């Protein structure tokens, strides 16, 4: 006949050892702890692989966008701050010039003349409403965009304009440069 441990009990003839129960609880806890540590280790080790499955996406603003109905723009020049574009309207004729300085990318300011002036720049004659001045390092640009003073190496960019067939709004395409004599007549 086996001696029953002091912590053992007999219940309906079934021997129950409380020492054995404690051991099982301890083993269960250690098992779960080991599994958790292993899972964390696997996650840390596998993170570079998981990350490599997600492409690095650079979200850039769209290069082609609507800016509004032609009638909504006043005669003369309107600065579209959000897009850093100057929109020119002369009656039913429109054109768009970038406000980004070609030196280091500051936003140029439009400095209007008291009265419009007839100008000819590189054999292109036009009615100048003013000039562009860069506040950063002093570059200056003619009213059609040509650089003439300061460190800017190139003229301001002129962008393609068209009418949206769906809404009739003006659409600027900053991915498409156009010659400085480009005009959209609506
Ligand atoms: S950024 Fe315009 S002159 Fe330097």
CA distances from 40 to 2, 37, 43, 44, 47 (A): 46, 5, 5, 6, 10
* Residue 11 alpha carbon to ligand 1 centre in Å: 92
166 and 90 co-located in one domain = yes
114 and 38 co-located in one domain = no
For CA atoms 135, 140, 142, 146, the dihedral sign is negative
Range of the structural domain that residue 20 is part of: 8-52
**Confidence band for 37, pLDDT divided at 50, 70 and 90:** confident
Higher-confidence residue: 173 or 34?
173
**How many CB atoms within 10 Å of residue 166?**
8
Note the pLDDT tens digit of each residue in 105-145. Answer: 999 999 999 999 999 999 999 999 999 999 999 999 999 99
Higher-confidence residue: 44 or 134?
134
Among the atoms of ligand 1, which is closest to the Cα of residue 135?
Answer: 2
Provide the number of structural domains found in the chain.
2
Write the residue with the smallest CA distance to atom 3 of ligand 1: 137
pLDDT for res 131: 98
* Residue 140 alpha carbon to ligand 1 centre in Å: 9
* Residue 26 alpha carbon to ligand 1 centre in Å: 72
19 and 98 co-located in one domain = no
Identify the three-state secondary structure at position 170: strand
Note the pLDDT tens digit of each residue in 170-186. Answer: 999 999 999 999 999 99
Identify the three-state secondary structure at position 38: helix
* Residue 19 alpha carbon to ligand 1 centre in Å: 82
* Residue 73 alpha carbon to ligand 1 centre in Å: 28
79 and 48 co-located in one domain = no
The answer to whether residues 99 and 107 touch, using CB atoms and an 8 Å cutoff, is: yes
Structural domain contains residue 58: no
pLDDT for res 34: 80
82 and 14 co-located in one domain = no
Structural domain contains residue 162: yes
Among the atoms of ligand 1, which is closest to the Cα of residue 104?
Answer: 1
Burial profile 87-98: b = 16 or more Cβ within 10 angstroms, e = fewer = bbbbeeebbbbb
pLDDT for res 127: 95
164 and 92 co-located in one domain = yes
Residues framing ligand 1 (Cβ under 6 A):
101, 103-106, 134, 136-139, 150-152
47 and 88 co-located in one domain = no
pTM beyond 0.75: the answer is: no
98 and 152 co-located in one domain = yes
Write the residue with the smallest CA distance to atom 1 of ligand 1: 104
């Amino acid at each position: 006949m086996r001696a029953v441990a002091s912590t053992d009990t007999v219940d309906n003839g079934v021997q129950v050892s409380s020492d054995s129960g404690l051991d099982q609880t301890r083993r269960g806890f250690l098992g779960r702890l080991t599994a958790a540590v292993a899972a964390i280790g696997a996650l840390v080790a596998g993170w570079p692989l998981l990350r490599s499955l997600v492409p690095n996406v650079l979200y850039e603003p769209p290069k082609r966008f609507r800016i509004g109905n032609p009638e909504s723009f006043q005669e003369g020049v309107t600065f579209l701050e959000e897009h850093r574009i100057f929109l020119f309207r002369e009656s039913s004729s429109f054109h768009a010039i970038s406000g980004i300085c070609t030196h280091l990318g500051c936003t140029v300011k439009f400095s209007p003349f008291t009265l419009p002036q007839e100008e000819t720049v590189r054999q292109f004659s036009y009615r100048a409403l003013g000039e562009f001045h860069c506040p950063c390092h002093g570059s200056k640009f003619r009213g059609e965009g040509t650089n003439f003073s300061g460190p800017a190496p190139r003229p301001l960019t002129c962008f393609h304009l068209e009418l949206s067939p769906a809404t009739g709004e003006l659409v600027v395409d900053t991915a498409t440069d156009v010659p400085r004599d480009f005009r959209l007549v609506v």
